[in-house]
Protein backbone atom coordinates (compact mmCIF):
# COMPACT_ATOMS: atom_id res chain seq x y z
CA UNK A 1 0.00 0.00 0.00
CA UNK A 2 1.54 3.33 -1.05
CA UNK A 3 1.34 6.68 0.72
CA UNK A 4 -1.81 7.92 -1.03
CA UNK A 5 -3.65 4.66 -0.37
CA UNK A 6 -2.74 4.78 3.33
CA UNK A 7 -3.97 8.35 3.69
CA UNK A 8 -7.17 7.65 1.77
CA UNK A 9 -7.80 4.58 3.91
CA UNK A 10 -7.51 6.67 7.08
CA UNK A 11 -9.74 9.39 5.64
CA UNK A 12 -12.32 6.76 4.69
CA UNK A 13 -12.24 5.42 8.26
CA UNK A 14 -12.77 8.90 9.72
CA UNK A 15 -15.60 9.66 7.29
CA UNK A 16 -17.30 6.35 8.15
CA UNK A 17 -17.01 7.10 11.87
CA UNK A 18 -18.52 10.56 11.38
CA UNK A 19 -21.34 9.49 9.03
CA UNK A 20 -23.99 8.88 11.75
CA UNK A 21 -24.09 12.61 12.62
CA UNK A 22 -25.96 13.27 9.37
CA UNK A 23 -28.95 11.47 10.91
CA UNK A 24 -28.89 13.42 14.19
CA UNK A 25 -29.78 17.05 14.82
CA UNK A 26 -26.74 19.05 15.92
CA UNK A 27 -28.11 19.76 19.39
CA UNK A 28 -28.57 16.03 20.06
CA UNK A 29 -25.12 14.77 19.16
CA UNK A 30 -23.61 13.21 22.28
CA UNK A 31 -20.24 14.70 23.16
CA UNK A 32 -18.87 11.45 24.55
CA UNK A 33 -19.33 9.86 21.13
CA UNK A 34 -18.49 12.79 18.88
CA UNK A 35 -15.48 14.40 20.62
CA UNK A 36 -13.02 11.49 20.09
CA UNK A 37 -13.97 11.32 16.40
CA UNK A 38 -13.65 15.08 15.96
CA UNK A 39 -10.31 15.12 17.77
CA UNK A 40 -8.85 12.38 15.57
CA UNK A 41 -10.15 14.02 12.40
CA UNK A 42 -8.88 17.46 13.43
CA UNK A 43 -5.40 16.08 14.14
CA UNK A 44 -5.27 14.24 10.83
CA UNK A 45 -6.48 17.26 8.84
CA UNK A 46 -3.80 19.40 10.50
CA UNK A 47 -1.04 16.95 9.56
CA UNK A 48 -2.35 16.63 6.03
CA UNK A 49 -2.99 20.30 5.26
CA UNK A 50 -1.46 22.40 8.12
CA UNK A 51 -3.19 24.37 10.87
CA UNK A 52 -3.34 27.45 8.63
CA UNK A 53 -5.38 25.75 5.90
CA UNK A 54 -9.03 26.57 5.26
CA UNK A 55 -9.89 22.88 5.71
CA UNK A 56 -8.46 22.83 9.22
CA UNK A 57 -9.92 26.18 10.28
CA UNK A 58 -13.41 25.38 8.97
CA UNK A 59 -13.48 21.89 10.45
CA UNK A 60 -12.26 23.21 13.82
CA UNK A 61 -14.86 25.96 13.79
CA UNK A 62 -17.77 23.54 13.27
CA UNK A 63 -16.46 20.45 15.07
CA UNK A 64 -15.87 22.00 18.50
CA UNK A 65 -18.05 24.10 20.78
CA UNK A 66 -15.23 26.62 21.14
CA UNK A 67 -15.20 27.21 17.40
CA UNK A 68 -18.17 29.57 17.41
CA UNK A 69 -20.31 27.70 14.84
CA UNK A 70 -20.72 24.26 16.40
CA UNK A 71 -22.30 21.86 13.91
CA UNK A 72 -21.06 18.25 13.79
CA UNK A 73 -23.06 17.66 10.60
CA UNK A 74 -21.26 20.54 8.86
CA UNK A 75 -17.93 19.29 10.20
CA UNK A 76 -18.61 15.82 8.83
CA UNK A 77 -19.39 17.36 5.44
CA UNK A 78 -16.07 19.23 5.51
CA UNK A 79 -14.31 15.97 6.36
CA UNK A 80 -15.87 14.34 3.31
CA UNK A 81 -14.69 17.28 1.20
CA UNK A 82 -11.15 16.85 2.50
CA UNK A 83 -11.31 13.20 1.48
CA UNK A 84 -12.59 14.01 -2.01
CA UNK A 85 -10.11 16.83 -2.63
CA UNK A 86 -7.21 14.66 -1.50
CA UNK A 87 -8.34 11.80 -3.75
CA UNK A 88 -8.35 14.21 -6.70
CA UNK A 89 -4.81 15.39 -5.91
CA UNK A 90 -5.65 18.95 -4.86
CA UNK A 91 -4.51 18.92 -1.24
CA UNK A 92 -1.16 17.22 -1.67
CA UNK A 93 0.05 19.64 -4.30
CA UNK A 94 -0.90 22.68 -2.24
CA UNK A 95 0.54 21.41 1.04
CA UNK A 96 3.87 20.40 -0.48
CA UNK A 97 4.24 23.73 -2.26
CA UNK A 98 3.51 25.64 0.95
CA UNK A 99 5.94 23.49 2.92
CA UNK A 100 8.72 24.04 0.39
CA UNK A 101 8.22 27.80 0.54
CA UNK A 102 8.17 27.83 4.35
CA UNK A 103 11.28 25.66 4.60
CA UNK A 104 13.16 27.94 2.18
CA UNK A 105 12.12 31.07 4.08
CA UNK A 106 13.20 29.72 7.45
CA UNK A 107 16.50 28.34 6.20
CA UNK A 108 17.20 31.70 4.56
CA UNK A 109 16.48 33.28 7.93
CA UNK A 110 18.86 30.85 9.61
CA UNK A 111 21.55 31.71 7.05
CA UNK A 112 21.08 35.43 7.70
CA UNK A 113 21.24 35.00 11.48
CA UNK A 114 24.39 32.94 11.12
CA UNK A 115 26.00 35.63 8.97
CA UNK A 116 25.24 38.14 11.75
CA UNK A 117 26.89 35.82 14.32
CA UNK A 118 23.58 34.73 15.86
CA UNK A 119 24.45 31.12 15.15
CA UNK A 120 22.71 29.79 18.26
CA UNK A 121 19.37 31.08 16.96
CA UNK A 122 20.28 29.83 13.48
CA UNK A 123 20.81 26.32 14.88
CA UNK A 124 17.43 26.38 16.62
CA UNK A 125 15.58 27.49 13.49
CA UNK A 126 17.34 24.99 11.23
CA UNK A 127 16.61 22.23 13.74
CA UNK A 128 12.91 23.15 13.80
CA UNK A 129 12.80 22.98 9.98
CA UNK A 130 14.47 19.57 10.07
CA UNK A 131 12.04 18.21 12.66
CA UNK A 132 9.05 19.40 10.64
CA UNK A 133 10.49 17.83 7.51
CA UNK A 134 10.98 14.52 9.32
CA UNK A 135 7.39 14.65 10.57
CA UNK A 136 6.14 15.13 7.02
CA UNK A 137 8.29 12.25 5.79
CA UNK A 138 6.82 10.08 8.53
CA UNK A 139 3.32 10.96 7.36
CA UNK A 140 4.28 10.22 3.76
CA UNK A 141 5.97 6.85 4.28
CA UNK A 142 4.56 5.50 7.54
CA UNK A 143 1.55 7.50 8.69
CA UNK A 144 0.78 10.29 11.16
CA UNK A 145 3.15 10.65 14.10
CA UNK A 146 1.12 9.95 17.26
CA UNK A 147 3.55 10.86 20.06
CA UNK A 148 5.59 13.81 21.24
CA UNK A 149 8.03 14.33 18.42
CA UNK A 150 11.75 15.00 18.39
CA UNK A 151 14.45 14.75 15.76
CA UNK A 152 15.84 11.58 17.33
CA UNK A 153 12.46 9.82 17.64
CA UNK A 154 11.38 10.65 14.10
CA UNK A 155 14.80 9.81 12.72
CA UNK A 156 14.75 6.39 14.34
CA UNK A 157 11.28 5.62 12.98
CA UNK A 158 12.26 6.62 9.46
CA UNK A 159 15.46 4.57 9.62
CA UNK A 160 13.53 1.48 10.70
CA UNK A 161 11.14 2.02 7.80
CA UNK A 162 14.16 2.22 5.46
CA UNK A 163 13.21 5.67 4.19
CA UNK A 164 16.93 6.40 4.12
CA UNK A 165 20.14 4.58 4.97
CA UNK A 166 22.28 4.35 8.12
CA UNK A 167 24.63 7.10 6.94
CA UNK A 168 21.75 9.57 6.59
CA UNK A 169 20.43 8.50 10.00
CA UNK A 170 23.81 9.29 11.58
CA UNK A 171 23.94 12.68 9.89
CA UNK A 172 20.48 13.59 11.17
CA UNK A 173 21.47 12.48 14.68
CA UNK A 174 24.47 14.81 14.42
CA UNK A 175 22.25 17.72 13.37
CA UNK A 176 20.01 17.01 16.34
CA UNK A 177 23.06 17.09 18.60
CA UNK A 178 23.86 20.57 17.27
CA UNK A 179 20.33 21.83 17.78
CA UNK A 180 19.74 20.53 21.32
CA UNK A 181 22.27 22.69 23.20
CA UNK A 182 21.15 25.75 21.23
CA UNK A 183 17.56 25.14 22.35
CA UNK A 184 18.61 24.67 25.97
CA UNK A 185 20.88 27.71 26.27
CA UNK A 186 24.11 25.69 26.33
CA UNK A 187 25.64 28.11 23.87
CA UNK A 188 29.26 27.23 24.61
CA UNK A 189 28.55 23.83 23.01
CA UNK A 190 27.37 25.35 19.70
CA UNK A 191 30.02 25.68 17.01
CA UNK A 192 29.48 28.30 14.29
CA UNK A 193 31.12 26.22 11.56
CA UNK A 194 28.98 23.19 12.36
CA UNK A 195 25.81 25.29 12.25
CA UNK A 196 26.72 26.61 8.80
CA UNK A 197 27.25 23.07 7.55
CA UNK A 198 24.01 21.97 9.22
CA UNK A 199 21.94 24.60 7.39
CA UNK A 200 23.44 23.62 4.04
CA UNK A 201 22.99 19.92 4.78
CA UNK A 202 19.34 20.32 5.73
CA UNK A 203 18.70 22.18 2.45
CA UNK A 204 20.14 19.24 0.54
CA UNK A 205 18.21 16.73 2.66
CA UNK A 206 14.86 18.43 1.98
CA UNK A 207 15.60 18.75 -1.73
CA UNK A 208 16.47 15.06 -1.92
CA UNK A 209 13.69 13.53 0.16
CA UNK A 210 10.86 16.05 -0.22
CA UNK A 211 11.66 17.56 -3.59
Note the CATH architecture for domain 96-209.
Up-down Bundle (1.20)
Q: Residue 128 pLDDT > 90, yes or no? A: no
For the chain, domain boundaries: 3-88, 96-209
Q: What percent of the chain has pLDDT over 70?
A: 90
Express each pLDDT in 64-116 by its tens digit: 887 668 888 899 999 998 898 888 876 754 445 445 555 567 788 888 888 88
What pLDDT, on the 0 to 100 scale, is given for residue 151?
92
- Cα–Cα dist 147/69, whole Å: 30
Q: What is the pTM of this model?
A: 0.54
C-alpha neighbours within 13 Å on the C-beta side of residue 40:
14
| Count of all residues that appear for the chain in the document | 211
What pLDDT, on the 0 to 100 scale, is given for residue 98?
44
Mention every residue, 6+ apart, whose C-beta is less than 8 A from residue 75.
Answer: 18, 21, 38, 41, 59, 62, 63
Amino acid sequence: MDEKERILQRLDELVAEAKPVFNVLDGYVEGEWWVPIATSALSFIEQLTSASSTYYKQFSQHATRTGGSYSPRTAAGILEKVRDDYAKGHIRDLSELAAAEVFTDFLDMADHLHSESYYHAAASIAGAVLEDSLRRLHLKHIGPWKDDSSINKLNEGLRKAKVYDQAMWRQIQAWGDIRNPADHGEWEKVDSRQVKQMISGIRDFIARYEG
